Amino acid sequence: MSIRTYHPRRGRLSGRHHDALDRLFAAYATTVAELPAPLDLPAVFGRTAPVVLEIGFGMGDATAEMAAADPDRDYLAVEVHTPGIAHLLALIEQRELTNVRVAVGDALDLARRCLPEQSLDAVHAYFPDPWPKARHHKRRLIQPAHVALLRSRLRRGGRLHCATDWAPYAEVMLATLTADPELVNTHDGYAPRPAYRPQTKFERRGVRAGRPAYDLVFERSFDTADG
């Protein structure tokens, strides 16, 4: 049995969120368990385009903003938090986004079971649970085996972009990503926040509380045995 890297959260659903789930789920979302293996990404989005895997999108505001500004790529957004899923579905309709689909469940299960190797243009893992207690570190998303899995789903030159506001986790992230044999850091250490990653309310609250965000932007190397 795999160890969860996320902590399921309960949240109250507003009437708007209930409405979004009722009307929009079938059109834009599915559960990871229901997805076929392998997943035909062009069939999911109705076109052939580069795909970004967005892991743990929270309330979905940043995902919607990035997708709206990046219409030439498709966003496969994975989350387990029901209010956030409902909110992103509402944003998809409100902003008339055609390049976002939602998967409900474990992103690692999705990557492992459904996504072919070299099928992704980018992977975003923004503010994953830091699991600060030592006994919970095994639940962290960014650890060698998980990184190797996610990296294998990236095309050559594709990007793995992580962000956290938990300084000890940032250090571990940097060491783990640097140690991967097929990932190359695009900066000397941490990266400045790229313009394409919106600063969320959650992040701004952290900055005000003295917790700056750390971005890590790595690319899958072209310098491999299989070219």
pLDDT tens-place string over residues 58-68: 999 999 999 99
134 vs 144, higher pLDDT: 144
C-alpha gyration radius of the chain: 17
This prediction's pTM: 0.92
Domains of the chain, by residue range, sit at 28-220
**CA atoms of 144 and 108, how far apart (whole Å):** 13
Backbone dihedral angles phi then psi of residue 91, each to the nearest 5 degrees: -65, -35
- Looking at the domain covering 28-220, what would its CATH class be? alpha beta
pLDDT band at 1, cuts 50/70/90? very low
pLDDT band at 8, cuts 50/70/90? low
- The sheet that has 100-104: what strands, in order across it? 29-31, 100-104, 74-79, 51-55, 120-126, 154-164, 214-220, 183-185
Task: Give 153-182 pLDDT, tens digit per residue.
Answer: 999 999 999 999 999 999 999 999 999 999
Tokens 């294998």, located at residue: 152
Contact 16, 90 (CB under 8 A): yes
pLDDT band at 16, cuts 50/70/90? confident
pLDDT surpasses 50 at 45: yes
What's the confidence (pLDDT) of residue 136?
61
**CA atoms of 46 and 157, how far apart (whole Å):** 24
Identified catalytic residue from 129, 215, 223, 226: 129
pLDDT band at 17, cuts 50/70/90? confident
**CA atoms of 48 and 98, how far apart (whole Å):** 13
Does residue 117 sit in helix, strand or coil? Answer: coil
CA distances from 186 to 65, 147, 159 (A): 24, 16, 9
Contact 85, 13 (CB under 8 A): no
Identify whether 129 is a catalytic site residue.
yes
